[in-house]
Copies of this chain bind each other. A is one copy, B any other.
């Protein structure tokens, strides 16, 4: 067993609503996991950002927090935003979008996996085989228009989608490298370019650049699907999917759809990855309707922390962190299948119960 002398700095941004609840649970789990495993310790530093902090301070994403994210080895993020707290111009507080741009987190990685033991959403038994990853481009596409849209004479409004060669190439390459790692584990892998190349110039361009990148990865399968057809495939046979790469807005829609297939946002982790930085967050929001009631499902947060450990393990050549990631996943699986079914999924286990069961499962999961 190698014990690393590295200390890794994690910027912890709990944010608002259930973001705070699932983050507190996650820090507890991470501490318990660290106590049981070798490898670099994580130094967790909490920073302020979000709607609540904006209400108190007038800043949604203060410079100190942004700087801390830049300096940190990784960012662990809860959820941010609140319906009643808005910028002066009425727009919502969405620091997560600002962080994607500021840290150049171009690949939104949304793994979709079924945890056996959960109540089924789809009736087909093959849901047990659902194991795909949606890679969402996160720095351009339609979101390029954010803050740039125009209203002309209270009669027309415009937003422009922008697809660049570099933006498409790097996210496509990311998807192929991800598929490569899956291939070594599963024996085969395929990347599907999800676009609307039959209608839009920018989407035909996206597909063209994807094809160029695909040619540089001859051992990985590559194909295409229109985004509408993909929405249908996701509902009808999601077990056939592998790795997908798509435009920002399409990825936003498809990743919520996909999360629904495996139980909802409380089961869906995500990573926002760039070449230098990475941020890990559950796919859910702040859930004002259940915030403060202990009902949040912390699984997506736990699984996001596992993604962080995997990313750090690779980046810092710290295989022990990968051991921790597997341990978290196995414990979540054990907690769920031993009956700690989250409220969101029709069960009775609140945030505390799911956390307790997950931590209790650690010894057996090792």
Contact = CB atoms under 8 A, between A and B. Distances in A.
A270 to B, nearest CB: 13
A117 interface: no
For this chain, the copies found in one complex come to 2
Nearest to A251: B228
A253 interface: yes
Given A163-B157, A253-B227, A199 B97 contact: yes
A235 B235 contact: yes
Contacts of A261: 235
A264 to B, nearest CB: 6
A55 to B, nearest CB: 18
A231 B249 contact: no
A289 interface: no
Interface string A222-252: 0000011101101110000000000001101
Contacts of A227: 252-253
A164 B156 contact: yes
Contact of A202 (B158, B166, B265): B158
A200 B145 contact: yes
Interface in A144-169: 145-146, 149-151, 154-166
A164 B159 contact: no
A257 interface: yes
Query: How extensive is the interface on chain A, given as a class?
Result: 35 or more
B257 A157 contact: no
A31 interface: no
A198 B257 contact: no
B253 A235 contact: no
Contacts of A206: 157
A121 interface: yes
Contacts of A149: 200-202
Nearest to A257: B231
A253 B250 contact: yes
A82 interface: no
A331 interface: no
A161 B164 contact: no
A257 B227 CA distance: 10
Given A200-B146, A200-B149, A165 B159 contact: no
A47 interface: no
B121 A120 contact: no
Interface centre among A119, A120, A151 (most CB of B within 10 A): A151
A297 interface: no
B236 A253 contact: no
- Leading 6 A-B pairs by shortest Cβ distance: A149-B201, A235-B260, A157-B205, A157-B202, A231-B257, A228-B256
Given A232-B260, A236-B260, 8 more contacts: A123-B123, A146-B199, A156-B164, A157-B163, A158-B202, A159-B202, A228-B252, A250-B253
28 contacts: A94-B198, A119-B123, A121-B123, A122-B123, A142-B161, A145-B200, A145-B201, A146-B199, A149-B202, A150-B201, A151-B201, A156-B165, A157-B162, A157-B163, A157-B202, A157-B205, A159-B160, A159-B200, A159-B201, A196-B249, A231-B231, A231-B256, A231-B257, A232-B260, A232-B264, A235-B235, A235-B257, A235-B260
